[in-house]
């Protein structure tokens, strides 16, 4: 019996690109089946992340055309990470392995062959790693590179240049399902699941159609979420910084006492003001960072659902 593969694809307002890429995924499933690597019960699972265009109509139409297509629709837009999790959890009880991939064709679909080979030779998780980023803008490349390095510096175990293009076995998915956090950052969580893993290189292409759903604002909040949900280093840095500033102020106090004793007048207004301003700034910044964590705790404590499924195509019910 060959293993069942599910290709899990989150889609948000992707009516332009879906009709182009969906047949490519189907072709991939067919090829792998003909090669005898996967079962005929393998599926392509779309997650409609509350799209406002015709994405869901396209998904239901696809599923009526070919039984290998199926889909679930979330009750509203919950963001890429939650949509992806919804798909992974849906696939968990139905597949032996699943590959998560974007629907815009940017990630080279042919890397799935290599991922499946790695799975067949014993890997529980196979990370897709970008071998080059030639097609990204210099800005996106630079910020992304900086982000990976910073995450490393913060002590977060992340695979360099790996986005959410990866294969996970059923066991790995079950491991992932035990992580209950609401502030999701999958590429930091999956390495925590553990198990034997390997990497597969692929080259990142241009989006085949439509626009990126990750503008700079979303990228920044994604990065901040990544850091604060996986690392407490910023809080430690504040402590260290506070310690240094306190040590310096002891020197300042000694200095001011000495000048007072020597009696060198009311000079020093400038230094007083600058110290007050500096400390005010540091304190506000520190409060902001701590507030970020308190906010996270607030959301985690409430334990709201990470996604709610509204509809499913017939195939998957
Ligand atoms: N996506 C989603 N929900 C969102 C934003 C994006 O499901 O709120 C999906 C989108 O349809 C795509 C994937 O996440 O399949 C990656 O998005 P995109 O290609 O826009 O990001 P980029 O490749 O530019 O980083
Ligand atoms: Mg993309």
> Comparing 209 with 129, which gets the higher pLDDT?
129
Any atom of ligand 1 within 6 Å of the Cβ of 59? no
Any atom of ligand 1 within 6 Å of the Cβ of 104? yes
The predicted-structure confidence for 11-22, as pLDDT tens digits, reads as follows: 999 999 999 999
265 has a pLDDT exceeding 70:
no
276 has a pLDDT exceeding 90:
no
137 has a pLDDT exceeding 80:
no
Alpha helices (H) in the chain, listed in sequence order: 18-34, 55-65, 80-92, 111-120, 138-153, 170-177, 186-193, 216-230, 233-262, 269-302
Q: Residue 49: its pLDDT value, please?
A: 95
Task: Give the model's confidence band at 133: pLDDT under 50 very low, under 70 low, under 90 confident, else very high.
Answer: low
Rounded distance from Cα 144 to ligand 2 centre (Å): 14
Tokens of 284: 């506000």
Rounded distance from Cα 19 to ligand 1 centre (Å): 16
Any atom of ligand 1 within 6 Å of the Cβ of 14? yes
Task: Concatenate the DSSP letters of all residues of 104-133 into one string.
Answer: TS-B-TTHHHHHHHHHHTT-SEEEEEEEE-
Q: Which ligand is nearest to the CA of 78?
A: 1
Q: Which ligand is nearest to the CA of 103?
A: 1
Any atom of ligand 1 within 6 Å of the Cβ of 176? no
Q: Which of 213, 221, 225 to mutate to test the pocket of ligand 1 (most atoms within 8 A of CB)?
A: 213
Between CA 220 and CA 270 the distance in angstroms is: 37
Between CA 127 and CA 164 the distance in angstroms is: 8
Segment among 61-75, 93-107, 173-187, 196-210 with least mean pLDDT: 196-210
Any atom of ligand 1 within 6 Å of the Cβ of 100? no
Closest C-alpha to ligand 1, atom 19:
212
Between CA 37 and CA 45 the distance in angstroms is: 19
H/E element, 6: strand 5-11
126 has a pLDDT exceeding 80:
yes
Q: Residue 45: its pLDDT value, please?
A: 96
> Comparing 80 with 304, which gets the higher pLDDT?
80
């Amino acid at each position: 019996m060959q293993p069942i593969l599910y290709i899990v694809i989150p889609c948000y307002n992707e009516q332009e690109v879906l009709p182009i890429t969906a047949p490519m995924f189907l072709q991939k499933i067919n090829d792998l089946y003909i090669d005898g690597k996967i079962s005929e019960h393998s599926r392509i699972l779309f997650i409609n992340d509350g799209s406002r265009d015709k994405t869901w109509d396209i998904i239901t139409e696809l599923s009526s055309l070919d039984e290998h297509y199926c889909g679930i629709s979330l009750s509203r837009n919950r963001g890429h990470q939650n949509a992806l999790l919804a798909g992974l959890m849906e696939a968990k009880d139905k597949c032996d392995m699943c590959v998560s991939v974007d629907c815009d064709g940017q990630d080279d679909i042919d890397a799935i062959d290599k991922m499946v080979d790695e799975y067949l030779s014993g890997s529980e998780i196979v990370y897709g790693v970008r071998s080059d980023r030639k097609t990204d803008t210099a800005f996106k490349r630079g910020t992304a590179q900086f982000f990976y390095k910073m995450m490393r510096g913060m002590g977060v175990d992340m695979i360099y240049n790996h986005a959410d293009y990866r294969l996970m076995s059923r066991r790995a998915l079950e491991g992932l399902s035990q992580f209950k956090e609401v502030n999701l950052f999958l590429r930091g969580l999956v390495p925590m699941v553990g198990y034997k893993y390997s990497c597969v290189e692929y080259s990142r292409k241009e989006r085949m159609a439509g626009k990126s759903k990750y503008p700079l604002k979303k990228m920044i909040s994604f990065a901040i979420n990544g850091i604060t949900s996986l690392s407490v280093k910023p809080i430690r840095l504040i402590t260290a910084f506070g310690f240094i500033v306190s040590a310096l102020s002891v020197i300042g106090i000694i200095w001011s006492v000495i000048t007072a004793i020597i009696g060198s007048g009311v000079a020093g207004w400038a230094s007083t003001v600058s110290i007050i301003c500096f400390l005010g700034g540091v304190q506000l910044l520190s409060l902001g960072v701590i507030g970020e964590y308190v906010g996270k705790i607030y959301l985690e404590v409430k334990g709201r659902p990470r996604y709610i499924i509204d509809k499913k195509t017939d195939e998957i019910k």
